[in-house]
């Protein structure tokens, strides 16, 4: 594929949260580990693909594999202070550090949720009333002498 036909991604700076997400995935997958892999380049390409998909899903940004490889290299070689800060954040948190850009919570979904809560509340009131009725019947059955 010629360079002119390749898809171009905007080479913008990555946010700290994006870099934390990238480093977290790469560390968990042992991206930098050398070993007896049959196809290490294929393995690394699959890992980088996971990073691309995760950044797209969680932050809504499109990054190319080349951008991410370069950013990883820069973090490891040139920006070691930034890399240490990222590792510190990852060590402090037991959960995945992902801050999605949008929660998808709209006024329509809020309205739907309020309706559901109201219906559930009505159902609970009906159940409480029926429970009281049954308790009263049982109490009346026990209080009446001569009935078993």
Per the domain annotation, does 98 fall within a domain? no
Per the domain annotation, does 4 fall within a domain? no
Residue (of 27, 44, 11, 12) closest to 89 by Cα position: 27
pLDDT digits (tens, 9 = 90+) for 9-31: 544 578 888 888 888 888 888 77
> Are residues 16 and 82 both part of a single domain?
yes
Query: Any residues with CB less than 8 A from the CB of 51 and at least 6 apart, and which?
Result: 21, 22, 25, 26, 63, 68
> Are residues 56 and 126 both part of a single domain?
no
Q: What is the pTM of this model?
A: 0.52
Per the domain annotation, does 51 fall within a domain? yes
In this prediction, residue 134 carries a pLDDT of 93
> Are residues 66 and 21 both part of a single domain?
yes
> Are residues 16 and 87 both part of a single domain?
yes
> Are residues 71 and 107 both part of a single domain?
no
Per the domain annotation, does 36 fall within a domain? yes
In this prediction, residue 105 carries a pLDDT of 62
In this prediction, residue 97 carries a pLDDT of 47
DSSP 8-state symbol, 15: P
Q: What tokens does 52 get?
A: 């691309």
> Are residues 83 and 60 both part of a single domain?
yes
Q: What tokens does 46 get?
A: 């699959």
> Are residues 17 and 45 both part of a single domain?
yes
Instruction: Give the domain extent around 44.
Output: 9-92
Residue segments in the chain with a per-residue pLDDT below the cut of 70: 1-12, 34-35, 37, 94-105, 145-148
Domain boundary among 71, 92, 113: 92
Q: How far apart are CA 86 and CA 80, in angstroms?
A: 10
User: How many domains are there within the chain?
Assistant: 2
Per the domain annotation, does 47 fall within a domain? yes
In this prediction, residue 148 carries a pLDDT of 55
Per the domain annotation, does 97 fall within a domain? no
Q: How far apart are CA 72 and CA 53, in angstroms?
A: 16
> Are residues 66 and 131 both part of a single domain?
no
């Amino acid at each position: 594929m010629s360079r002119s036909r390749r898809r171009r991604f905007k080479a913008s700076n990555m946010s700290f949260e994006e870099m934390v997400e990238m480093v977290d995935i790469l560390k968990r997958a042992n991206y930098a580990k050398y070993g007896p892999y049959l196809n290490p380049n294929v393995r690394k390409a699959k890992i980088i693909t996971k990073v691309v998909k995760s950044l797209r899903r969680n932050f809504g940004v499109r990054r190319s594999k080349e951008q991410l490889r370069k950013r990883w290299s820069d973090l490891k070689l040139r920006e070691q202070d930034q890399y240490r800060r990222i590792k510190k954040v990852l060590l402090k948190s037991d959960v995945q550090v992902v801050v999605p850009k949008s929660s998808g919570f709209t006024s329509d979904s809020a309205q739907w949720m309020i309706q559901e809560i109201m219906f559930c509340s009505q159902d609970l009131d009906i159940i409480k009333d029926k429970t009281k009725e049954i308790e009263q019947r049982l109490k009346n059955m026990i209080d009446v002498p001569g009935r078993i």
